[in-house]
Amino acid sequence: MFKRLTVLISTGLPGLIRLLVFLVVETEYNLIDFGHFASDLSLVQLISFFTAISWAALVMTTVTQSEQPERALFKVMNTGVVYLLLFCLIPFVLYKLDIIKDSLGTICFIVGWMFYQISRHYIITKKEFTRIIIFDSLNLLLFIIVLFLGVTPLIALTLSHLTFVVFNLPKLKHYSLSLVTIEQQLNGLKNGLSTFLLGLGVYSLPVIFGLVLGAEYSVLMGLSTSLLIMIQLVPRSISAYFLPTISKTLLSDKTFALKMHRQQVFYTIISTALLSALGIIFVYFVYKLAIFEVVLIDGALSLIFLLLFNIVITVLAFPFSDLLMSHGNFKVNLTGSFIYSLVVTAALILFLIYGDNTLHATLLMVAYSFSGCMRFLYVFHNARKLLFIGKSELLNA
């Protein structure tokens, strides 16, 4: 029971920390600067799908299968650094276009976030979840202290992330200059592109809403995203618990892997339903008690609940996208995310050109939900085919 609790807490901490970061920054900055921070953070997290999340996912599937896990980890990290140098040019270009306000902070954040995600996922593969809880908690404390000393939020986050890395990387005696194979690099990039296309919808919202409807809507979507993303807390911990095992056994013992997959599906559905209900109750009380003033602006509730639905659909696809990733089938996840992003991008362009009120914003969120459902059905169908199991078996999992 204690082990499962530590898995739950450690996997959900990044989401909780993101929410607390928003709350702390809100106390230090005015609405306009807070809106700029929310926009900058969303943009750099989109870039980080290629520089951090793609390689962190590769850690989960390659390090667990390697006889020399530390050496395999450094290979992934070296590869991440190579691509990091390329993608760090993007924030500079966005700054020149006056889209990003804090160029130094965004570049520092991208660097720190990559090393943090890779080292954190390495600790997850070792199942040292208590260690993660301790150091993530210390990171949050360090961020708050540094922020109140006058350091900008993104650089404060970078310092806290690098502190985690310093204390959790393996000893350098295992280090080598090798990179992962070309095939593994392609898998990492496919996963990065897949998560980028999937995250494009949610993480672009503070930026787009800020441009079209003003700073208060940027803050609303930034805060709502940080709040509702907590619904992923339990499903992500379930994913972190099952993914290494399924990845190890899928080819050698398909029956056992199928059993693990069914359990993951069951726990994901139950936890998502419970957390969604709690999310709805929480939003209701936040609105009634006016805890955050931005929740009272025109159309706020409808936008929040449509965002909630979009996040729920994404979460329910976790077990099936994990199964495909365990099998090395990154192409299906990429295609599913492409389907999602195609509809979302078209809706975003129309909103940027013609949008000027909350009705248009609501229609945009409806398009998000529709594309999320399309992606879920596509990933579900292909994951089912992978294990040659019927529809009734999955639904009874």
pLDDT tens by residue, 180-200: 888 888 888 887 887 787 777
- 155 pLDDT higher than 90: yes
More confident: 181 or 226: 181
- 268 pLDDT higher than 80: yes
168 and 42 share one domain:
yes
Q: What integer is the mean pLDDT of 94-107?
A: 86
pTM: 0.74
Using the 3D structure, point to which of 180, 196, 231 is the last residue of a domain.
180
Grade residue 397 by pLDDT with cuts at 50, 70 and 90: very low
256 and 149 share one domain:
no
- 68 pLDDT higher than 90: no
147 and 214 share one domain:
no
241 and 265 share one domain:
yes
122-126 long-range contacts (CB < 8 A, ≥24 apart) are 122/59, 122/63, 122/69, 122/73, 122/168, 122/169, 122/170, 123/168, 124/10, 124/11, 124/60, 124/240, 124/244, 125/59, 125/60, 125/63, 125/64, 125/69, 125/244
86 and 232 share one domain:
no
Q: What integer is the mean pLDDT of 363-385?
A: 89
Q: How far is CA 305 from CA 210, 252, 268, 293, 365, in A?
A: 19, 43, 20, 17, 9
Other beta carbons within 10 angstroms of residue 254's beta carbon come to 14
Q: Which domain holds residue 305?
A: 188-397
Least confident of 300-314, 354-368, 378-392: 378-392
Using the 3D structure, point to which of 129, 154, 180 is the last residue of a domain.
180
Grade residue 391 by pLDDT with cuts at 50, 70 and 90: very low
pLDDT per position as a tens digit, 14-52: 767 777 787 788 777 777 787 778 788 888 888 888 888
Grade residue 392 by pLDDT with cuts at 50, 70 and 90: very low
Domain count for the chain: 2
171 and 193 share one domain:
no
Q: What is the pLDDT of residue 395?
A: 44
- 111 pLDDT higher than 90: yes
* Nearest CA-CA partner of 343 in 303, 379, 371, 314: 371
171 and 309 share one domain:
no
Q: What does the alpha-carbon distance between residue 73 and residue 68 come to, in Å, rounded to a whole number?
A: 9
277 and 232 share one domain:
yes
326 and 375 share one domain:
yes
Q: What does the alpha-carbon distance between residue 43 and residue 167 come to, in Å, rounded to a whole number?
A: 28
Using the 3D structure, point to which of 133, 161, 180 is the last residue of a domain.
180
368 and 232 share one domain:
yes
108 and 212 share one domain:
no
Q: What is the pLDDT of residue 229?
A: 72
